[in-house]
Amino acid sequence: MTSTRVRLFAVFAAGYFVSFLFRGVNLGFAPFLTRELGFSASDLGTLTSMYFLGFAGAQIPAGVLLDHYGPRRVTACVMLLAAVGIFVFGSASTLPMMMAGRLLIGVGVSVCLGGAFKATAQYFPVTQLTLVNGLVMAVGGLGGVAVGTPLTWLLSMTDWRSICTALAILTAIVAASIWLFAPVARDAHKQPSVLEQFKGTWHILSSRGFWKLAAFSGLNQGVFYAMQSLWVGAFLHDVLPQTPDTSARVATLVSVLGAAFIVGNIAFGALARSLEKRGISVYLFSGITMMLFVAVQAAIAWGVPLPEALLWSAYGALGGTGILTYAVLAHYFPVHLIGRVNTTFTLVIFLAIFLLQIGIGRALGHWPAVDGHYPLVAHRSVWLVLVVAQLVAAVWYFMPGLRHARKAVD
């Protein structure tokens, strides 16, 4: 890679790391919020999901802004809202104020993924996007590792409010780095008006080809992130035998999941590129890996007698393969729409996460908790519904008839 590409990759990947870290930080904070503020499972689900609501709600305007002003300026400026949001969250003592902070965080990092993919699409060949985007996801995945054992260790040294202050400072530093070191946007197209760009977004939303790609992948990733950012911890705490080292064991498995996510993004991104050269499309490969992820979910839910580390490694490695859909979309839509395509697809994913996090919390609440733990049947019922929903979406994904979207909207 050239120095410009290395610099671009480094700063935007750092931005996505911050975004990913905010996604799952409540997994570590949850026990403290429950003890100190008396939050229920429904409260935690609603609170945590506000990040995803803010993230999703900002996607359409974010896509327009990215295509109009470029990823450097938009990402750096909008990320400052996340710094304010985590400060509000860490300072608040009521649920509504904490929800406002989480919502602001979600808006603030809403451009991190779309901005990174817009920047890589401008500076890297399409043939390298599966690998490069996988590497961006891998760096972001370090945030998933950090909310496991490292965050547990930090919480044993200091309180969660101090960690929030540190995260506000980190976010501001990363935003400044993107502004100072990212290259100026490269775009061969004359930029249309903002109104015309919103019309382009409507073309994307009305494209059957877009939804054929987005339905299964969006739900697949929605399940992964809804679980990884909050409910995996509750599941493990409830189903593992209660011993003095249960919390440490849960934190270790969360970090194992996060580490496997990193390895999976790199490995599957490289493998997808290699197989594409041999005539196997990224579309087909992504679909197969997403189906394997559904199989892993079923195995975990039903307690298949395999080593825990193996099952959760497979969960993490396969959970991010739906991200390959971004590279598929780059083949089907013209480059001047990529910012809006990416953020529209991200909108689908994060709306799914938002709804799933709330829905899972309320579904679990239908069973009485005993000493703060929900019964195994509650978790299995939730997983069963999620698995069936993904299988239904997979049927449409694998049906023939994907139309080349470029013809419809170019």
- Within 10 Å of residue 284's Cβ, how many Cβ atoms? 15
pTM over 0.85: no
Q: Are 80 and 172 in contact (CB under 8 A)?
A: yes
Q: Which class for 375: exposed (0-12), middle (13-18), buried (19 or more C-beta within 10 A)? A: middle
Fold of 3-409: Growth Hormone; Chain: A; (1.20.1250)
pLDDT tens sequence across 104-157: 999 999 999 888 988 887 888 877 777 787 788 788 878 878 888 889 899 989
User: Which residues make beta-bridge pairs with 27?
Assistant: none
Q: What is the pLDDT of residues 214-263, one digit of tens each?
A: 889 999 999 998 888 778 888 888 888 777 777 788 888 888 888 888 88
pLDDT above 80 for 2: no
Round to whole Å and give the CA distance between 238 and 174.
Answer: 37
Contacts of 284 by beta carbon, 8 Å cutoff, 6+ apart: none
pLDDT attached to residue 195: 62
| 3-state DSSP assignment of residue 102 | helix
d(CA 375, CA 368): 8
Overall size of the chain counted in residues: 410
The C-alpha angle 42, 46, 47, rounded to 5 degrees, equals 115
Say how far apart CA 250 and CA 32 lie, in whole Å: 16
Mean pLDDT of 309-315: 92
Gap between the Cα atoms of 251 and 54, Å rounded: 27
3-state class (DSSP) for residue 243: coil
Residue-wise pLDDT tens digits, 81-118 = 999 999 999 999 899 999 999 999 999 999 998 889 88
Identify residue 187 by its one-letter amino acid code. Answer: D
pLDDT tens digits, one per residue of 174-208: 999 999 998 876 554 455 555 666 666 777 877 88
Hey, CA dihedral for 135, 139, 140, 143, is it positive or negative? positive
Burial grade of 236 (CB within 10 A; 0-12, 13-18, 19 or more): buried
